[in-house]
Amino acid sequence: MPSFIHKLRVHLDISEPGREPMKGIVALAPHAGTHSGPETVLDLLNSSSRVVPVTRPVDGTTVLFTRLQIAWVLAGTEVGQEVVWPGTYRVTKEERVLVEMEDGSLLAGRIQMELPEDLNRASDFLNGEEDFFPLIARSGIYIINKAKVRATQLFEASPLPIKAA
């Protein structure tokens, strides 16, 4: 007989191109598959799952979003950062950016990057294999789908790559 797994419920806004953002609740697993501790929103969106179940708080119905069609999710300021990305995420660089989505909307904030020592630019980070990345904004933390980004404007010049000694 299957057992019930208690999951952490997180309130988010979910945006798909051409639609108004929807308020919803995602359920996160108590144990992440890639690091110690519970699953985070970033883990969920960067997983190999094709769909992300989202419950509408107004009526309790569930919508199955195709993961790669999601433009962004927003965890509001009331959602703790530890629920959004893993505590094992080691920030090595931060840059202020303006992200232009494919629908023309703009999101301003800071990207906090976890990069190896030989990489130190926002372009290195955005060229990474993960589909989604976090953007810290005044309204909360966006988790943005790289495939739905038209352009990212940097406010400061990126540093030159570190040269091997």
For residue range 114-140, what is the model confidence (pLDDT) as tens digits? 766 666 678 888 888 999 999 999 999
User: What confidence score (pLDDT) does residue 139 get?
Assistant: 93
Q: Is the pLDDT of residue 160 over 60?
A: no
Q: How far apart are CA 112 and CA 110, in angstroms?
A: 6
| φ, ψ of residue 75 in degrees (nearest 5) | -95, 115
For residue range 61-119, what is the model confidence (pLDDT) as tens digits? 999 999 999 999 999 888 888 889 877 667 777 889 999 999 999 999 999 887 666 66
pTM of the model: 0.87
Q: How far apart are CA 49 and CA 152, in angstroms?
A: 27
Pick from 18, 16, 19, 75: nearest CA to 44: 75
Q: Report the range of poorest mean pLDDT among 2-11, 48-57, 70-79, 156-165.
A: 156-165
How many C-beta atoms lie closer than 10 Å to residue 24's C-beta?
22
How many C-beta atoms lie closer than 10 Å to residue 64's C-beta?
10
Q: How far apart are CA 34 and CA 42, in angstroms?
A: 11
User: What confidence score (pLDDT) does residue 164 get?
Assistant: 46
For residue range 14-33, what is the model confidence (pLDDT) as tens digits? 999 889 999 999 999 888 87
Rounded to the nearest angstrom, the gap between the alpha carbon of residue 43 and the centroid of all alpha carbons in its chain is 8
